[in-house]
């Protein structure tokens, strides 16, 4: 498939439909975005040349807003058959369980589906696990011991739902972008990486290439290989709880000492290849 220049611009800058209230001239820089330190040797789509360039990723919030709203509806609906039993020709408990499962599917599945990280490790995030497990335990006990325990279980489920929504909101409250460096796969070498990176492969490949050795708390730093058309890139990503990529060079990204140490220098010792002209966007004179 032939790529048009406009497609390549959108691949870096993001589709203007993602931010319908932004003007065309505002797309090179958006509110809240910052430049990396000079040691990164970065560039922008209106300058080109060599260096790291930001690739904006599609905001996830608008894509999951609708199912999240319906999730709460089904969670509330799951207790109605139990409050008003024997009102419909369907078994009350089966209907309540069906509504309950639909509710949690609608809040968890879309978030996992649209998550933009490629982390293959097992994560329960965004589920608030502890109250959910307590809810399951009380639900099982209400069958064995006392039906009233089921209501306490429902309270824990409701609390877990609100905490899960809060976890999702926190994860999506940051700009989402990764940083790309064009490279030649034939020149790929472990010696090109700064100290502190644990290599996963000795050759260029699409997928995970290296991870930062130091524990960064809720974040992990990753370098991945990426191919777009005939061009190959090293992508630097800050991954929040294994699910969502955050732009580390934005005003709302909070950097502690460990993150500052990581971000003070580029992950690579090289400035990469020159950006292909189809990614460069000539800025119109005003």
3-state secondary structure of 205: coil
Whole-structure pTM value? 0.87
**First-to-last CA distance in the chain?**
34
Q: Is the pLDDT of residue 2 over 50?
A: no
103: part of which helix (H) or strand (E)? helix 92-114
- Range scoring the smallest mean pLDDT among 23-32, 62-71, 195-204: 23-32
What confidence tens digit (pLDDT) does each residue in 50-64 have?
999 999 999 998 899
* 23-to-11, 40, 45, 280 alpha-carbon distances in Å: 18, 28, 17, 19
Alpha carbon distance 210, 51 (integer Å): 19
Q: What is the mean pLDDT of residues 35-62?
A: 91
Nearest-angstrom CA–CA distance, 248 and 268: 16
Q: pLDDT tens digits for 119-159?
A: 666 678 899 999 999 998 988 887 777 777 778 889 999 99
């Amino acid at each position: 498939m032939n790529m048009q220049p406009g497609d390549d611009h959108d691949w870096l800058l993001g589709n203007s439909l993602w931010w319908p209230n932004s003007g065309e001239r505002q797309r090179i820089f958006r509110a809240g975005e910052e430049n990396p330190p000079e040691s990164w040797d970065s560039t922008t789509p209106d300058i080109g040349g060599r260096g790291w360039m930001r690739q904006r990723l599609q905001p996830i919030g608008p894509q999951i807003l609708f199912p999240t709203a319906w999730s709460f509806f089904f969670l509330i609906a799951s207790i109605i058959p139990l409050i008003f039993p024997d009102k419909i020709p369907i078994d009350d408990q089966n209907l309540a369980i069906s509504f309950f499962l639909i509710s949690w599917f609608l809040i968890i599945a879309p978030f996992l589906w649209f998550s933009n990280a490629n982390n293959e490790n097992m994560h329960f995030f965004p589920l608030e696990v502890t109250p959910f497990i307590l809810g399951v335990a009380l639900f099982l006990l209400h069958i064995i011991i006392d039906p009233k325990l089921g209501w306490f279980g429902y309270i824990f489920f409701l609390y877990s739902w609100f905490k899960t929504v809060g976890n999702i909101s926190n994860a999506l409250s940051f700009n989402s972008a990764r940083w790309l460096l064009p490279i030649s796969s034939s020149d790929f070498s472990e010696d090109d990486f700064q100290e502190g990176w644990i290599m996963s492969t000795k050759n260029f490949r699409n997928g995970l290439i290296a991870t930062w050795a130091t524990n960064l708390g809720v974040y992990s730093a990753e370098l991945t290989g990426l191919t777009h058309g005939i061009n190959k890139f090293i992508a630097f990503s800050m991954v929040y709880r294994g699910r969502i990529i955050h732009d580390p060079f934005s005003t709302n990204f909070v950097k502690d000492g460990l993150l500052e140490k990581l971000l003070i220098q580029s992950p690579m010792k090289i400035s990469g290849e020159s950006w292909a002209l189809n990614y460069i966007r000539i800025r119109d004179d005003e």
